Chains A and B, each alone.
Chain A
Amino acid sequence: MSAVSVSPLYLLDILILFWVMLGLAGLVLQRSKYVIAHVIFPLGALVSLLLAAVAFLSLGEAPVSLVLPFGLPDLPFHQRLDSLSSFFLILLGVATVGVSLFGSGYFRHMDGKTLGLLCLQYHLFLASMALVLLADDAYMFMVAWEAMALSSYFLVTTDHAIPDIRKAGYLYLLIAHVGAIAILLSFGVMQGGNGISAYTFDAMRGAHLASFWASAAFLMALFGFGAKAGLLPLHVWLPEAHPAAPSPVSALMSSVMLKTAIYGILRVTFDLLGTQLWWWGVLALTLGLMTAVFGVMFAAVQGDMKRLLAYSSIENIGLLLVGIGLTIIFHVYGKDALAALALTATLYHSLNHAMFKSLLFIGTGSILHATGERNMGRLGGLIHSMPWASVLMLVGVLAIAGVPPLNGFVSEWLLLQAFLLSPGLPNSYINMLVPVAAAVIALSAALAAYVMVKFYGVIFLGQRREKVLEHAHDAGRWERAGMLWLALACVGLGLAPVFVVGQIDHVTQMLVGTQLGNAATDWMFLSPVDTDRASYSPLYFLLAVLGVMGLTVLLVRRLYHGRMRRGPAWDCGYPAQNARMQDTAEGFGQPIRQIFEPFFKIEREVPSPFDTHPKYHGHTDDKLWFILYLPVKHLTEKLSAWASLMQHGRIHLYLTYTFATLVVLLIFV
Chain B
Amino acid sequence: MIDLQLLALLLIPLFGSGMLAVFGSRPWAAELNSLMSGCTFVASVVLAMRVIDSGPQVAFNEQFFIDQFNVFLVALTAFVAFTTSLFSRPYMRIEQHHGKLSVSMLHLYYSMYQLFTFTMLVALTTNNMGILWVAMEAATLTTVLLVSLYRTPASLEAAWKYFILCGVGIALALFGTILLYFAAERVLGEGGTALLWTHLNQVKGELEPTVLKLAFIFLLVGYGTKIGLVPLHSWLPDAHAEGPTPVSAVLSGLLLNVALCAVMRSKVLVDGSLGTHFAGNLMMGFGLLSVVVAALFLSRQKDIKRMFAYSSIEHMGLITFAFGMGGPVATFAAMLHMTVHSLTKSAIFFAVGHAVQKAGTQQMENIRGLLQVSPTVGWGLALGTFAILGMPPFGVFASEFLIITTAMHEYPWTTPVLLIALGIAFASIFGKMQPIVFGETTVKPLPHPPALIPVFVHLLLVLMLGLYMPPYLADWYRQAAALLG
A contacts, CB < 8 Å to B: 69-74, 113, 138-139, 142-147, 150, 157, 160-161, 163, 166, 169-170, 173-174, 177-178, 181, 184-185, 188-189, 191, 194-196, 198-199, 636-637, 639-644, 646-647, 651, 653-655, 657-658, 660-662, 665-666, 669
Interface residues of B in 330-354 (CB under 8 A from A): none
A639–B294 CA distance with the chains assembled, in angstroms: 12
A185–B369 CA distance with the chains assembled, in angstroms: 36
CB neighbours (8 Å) of B237 from chain A are: 647
- Whether a CB of chain A sits under 8 angstroms from the CB of B460 is no
Flag if B235 contacts A654 (CB, 8 Å): yes
A665: contacting residue among B221, B397, B405, CB under 8 A: B221
Flag if A161 contacts B439 (CB, 8 Å): yes
A184: contacting residue among B214, B234, B298, B404, CB under 8 A: B404
Q: Is the interface of B mostly helix, strand, loop or mixed?
A: helix
CB neighbours (8 Å) of A661 from chain B are: 221, 231-232
* Interface mask (B355-398 → A, CB under 8 Å = 1, otherwise 0): 00000000000000101000100000000001000011100011
- Whether a CB of chain A sits under 8 angstroms from the CB of B299 is yes
A230–B41 CA distance with the chains assembled, in angstroms: 50
Flag if A150 contacts B161 (CB, 8 Å): no
Flag if A166 contacts B434 (CB, 8 Å): yes
CB neighbours (8 Å) of B49 from chain A are: none
Q: Which residue of A lies closest to B405 (CB)?
A: A188
A142 in contact with B438 given A73-B474, A188-B404, A669-B214 (CB within 8 Å): no
CB neighbours (8 Å) of A188 from chain B are: 404-405, 408-409, 415
B392: contacting residue among A70, A142, A653, CB under 8 A: A142
CB neighbours (8 Å) of A642 from chain B are: 296
- Whether a CB of chain A sits under 8 angstroms from the CB of B22 is no
Flag if A69 contacts B232 (CB, 8 Å): no
Flag if B164 contacts A640 (CB, 8 Å): no
CB neighbours (8 Å) of B406 from chain A are: 196
CB neighbours (8 Å) of A70 from chain B are: 467-468
Q: Which residue of B lies closest to A656 (CB)?
A: B231
Q: Which of B51-59, B135-143, B194-202, B425-433 contacts A (4 or more CB under 8 A)?
A: B425-433
A69–B474 CA distance with the chains assembled, in angstroms: 13
B299: contacting residue among A161, A174, A637, CB under 8 A: A637
A143: contacting residue among B164, B397, B404, CB under 8 A: B397
Flag if B214 contacts A161 (CB, 8 Å): no
- Whether a CB of chain A sits under 8 angstroms from the CB of B401 is yes
Flag if B439 contacts A163 (CB, 8 Å): yes
B401: contacting residue among A69, A142, A646, CB under 8 A: A142
- Whether a CB of chain A sits under 8 angstroms from the CB of B184 is no
What would 19 A/B residue contacts be, using CB atoms closer than 8 Å? A71-B467, A72-B398, A73-B469, A113-B375, A139-B401, A145-B392, A146-B397, A150-B386, A157-B434, A170-B431, A170-B434, A174-B430, A178-B423, A640-B298, A640-B300, A642-B296, A657-B231, A658-B168, A658-B169
Flag if A643 contacts B234 (CB, 8 Å): no
Flag if A166 contacts B435 (CB, 8 Å): yes
A485–B445 CA distance with the chains assembled, in angstroms: 48
A564–B408 CA distance with the chains assembled, in angstroms: 78
A145–B401 CA distance with the chains assembled, in angstroms: 14
In the complex, how many angstroms separate the beta carbon of A179 from the nearest chain B beta carbon?
A: 10
Q: Which residue of B lies closest to A641 (CB)?
A: B300
Flag if A69 contacts B468 (CB, 8 Å): yes
Flag if A658 contacts B300 (CB, 8 Å): no
Name the 8 nearest CB pairs between A and B, nearest first.
A160-B438, A73-B474, A188-B408, A654-B234, A643-B296, A143-B392, A146-B392, A657-B231
A653–B237 CA distance with the chains assembled, in angstroms: 15
Q: Which residue of B lies closest to A173 (CB)?
A: B430
A189–B408 CA distance with the chains assembled, in angstroms: 8
Q: Other CB < 8 Å A-B pairs besides A184-B419, A661-B232, 11 of them?
A: A73-B474, A143-B393, A150-B391, A160-B371, A166-B434, A166-B435, A174-B427, A177-B426, A185-B415, A188-B409, A643-B293
A666–B431 CA distance with the chains assembled, in angstroms: 41
A636 in contact with B424 given A647-B234, A657-B232, A662-B172 (CB within 8 Å): yes
Flag if B423 contacts A177 (CB, 8 Å): yes
A-B contact count (CB 8 A): 158
B402: contacting residue among A196, A640, A655, A658, CB under 8 A: A196
- Whether a CB of chain A sits under 8 angstroms from the CB of B466 is yes
A173–B437 CA distance with the chains assembled, in angstroms: 15
- Whether a CB of chain A sits under 8 angstroms from the CB of B10 is no
A139–B371 CA distance with the chains assembled, in angstroms: 32
Q: Which residue of B lies closest to A142 (CB)?
A: B392
Flag if A646 contacts B424 (CB, 8 Å): no
Interface residues of B in 231-249 (CB under 8 A from A): 231-232, 234-235, 237
Flag if A644 contacts B217 (CB, 8 Å): no
Flag if B392 contacts A147 (CB, 8 Å): yes
A640–B392 CA distance with the chains assembled, in angstroms: 27
Flag if B232 contacts A170 (CB, 8 Å): no
Flag if A658 contacts B221 (CB, 8 Å): yes
What's the tally of chain B residues with a CB closer than 8 Å to chain A? 67
Interface residues of B in 290-343 (CB under 8 A from A): 293, 296-300, 329
CB neighbours (8 Å) of B107 from chain A are: none
CB neighbours (8 Å) of A185 from chain B are: 408, 415-416, 419
- Whether a CB of chain A sits under 8 angstroms from the CB of B150 is no
A170–B385 CA distance with the chains assembled, in angstroms: 14
- Whether a CB of chain A sits under 8 angstroms from the CB of B153 is no
Q: Which residue of A lies closest to B401 (CB)?
A: A139
A169 in contact with B434 given A73-B474, A181-B419 (CB within 8 Å): yes
Flag if B293 contacts A669 (CB, 8 Å): no
- Whether a CB of chain A sits under 8 angstroms from the CB of B262 is no
Flag if B231 contacts A646 (CB, 8 Å): yes
In the complex, how many angstroms separate the beta carbon of A176 from the nearest chain B beta carbon?
A: 10
A143 in contact with B165 given A163-B439, A643-B297 (CB within 8 Å): no
A166 in contact with B391 given A188-B415, A195-B329, A641-B300 (CB within 8 Å): no
A642–B300 CA distance with the chains assembled, in angstroms: 11
In the complex, how many angstroms separate the beta carbon of B475 from the nearest chain A beta carbon?
A: 8
- Whether a CB of chain A sits under 8 angstroms from the CB of B458 is no
Q: Which residue of A lies closest to B229 (CB)?
A: A661
CB neighbours (8 Å) of A665 from chain B are: 217, 220-221, 282
A143 in contact with B466 given A177-B426, A196-B329 (CB within 8 Å): yes
- Whether a CB of chain A sits under 8 angstroms from the CB of B191 is no
CB neighbours (8 Å) of A147 from chain B are: 392-393
CB neighbours (8 Å) of B478 from chain A are: 73
In the complex, how many angstroms separate the beta carbon of A297 from the nearest chain B beta carbon?
A: 29
CB neighbours (8 Å) of A139 from chain B are: 398, 401
- Whether a CB of chain A sits under 8 angstroms from the CB of B77 is no
Flag if B217 contacts A669 (CB, 8 Å): yes
A644 in contact with B405 given A169-B434, A654-B235, A658-B221 (CB within 8 Å): no
A661–B467 CA distance with the chains assembled, in angstroms: 40
Flag if A174 contacts B392 (CB, 8 Å): no
Interface residues of B in 249-283 (CB under 8 A from A): 282
B217: contacting residue among A73, A166, A173, A666, CB under 8 A: A666
In the complex, how many angstroms separate the beta carbon of B321 from the nearest chain A beta carbon?
A: 16
In the complex, how many angstroms separate the beta carbon of A636 from the nearest chain B beta carbon?
A: 6
CB neighbours (8 Å) of B456 from chain A are: none
Flag if B468 contacts A71 (CB, 8 Å): yes
CB neighbours (8 Å) of B419 from chain A are: 181, 184-185
CB neighbours (8 Å) of A181 from chain B are: 419, 422-423
Q: Which residue of B lies closest to A642 (CB)?
A: B296
In the complex, how many angstroms separate the beta carbon of A184 from the nearest chain B beta carbon?
A: 7
A150–B387 CA distance with the chains assembled, in angstroms: 11
- Whether a CB of chain A sits under 8 angstroms from the CB of B15 is no
Flag if B401 contacts A662 (CB, 8 Å): no
A70–B392 CA distance with the chains assembled, in angstroms: 14
Flag if A655 contacts B168 (CB, 8 Å): yes
CB neighbours (8 Å) of A660 from chain B are: 231
A370–B376 CA distance with the chains assembled, in angstroms: 34
A662 in contact with B217 given A72-B469, A166-B438 (CB within 8 Å): yes
- Whether a CB of chain A sits under 8 angstroms from the CB of B31 is no
In the complex, how many angstroms separate the beta carbon of A228 from the nearest chain B beta carbon?
A: 15
CB neighbours (8 Å) of A647 from chain B are: 234, 237, 297
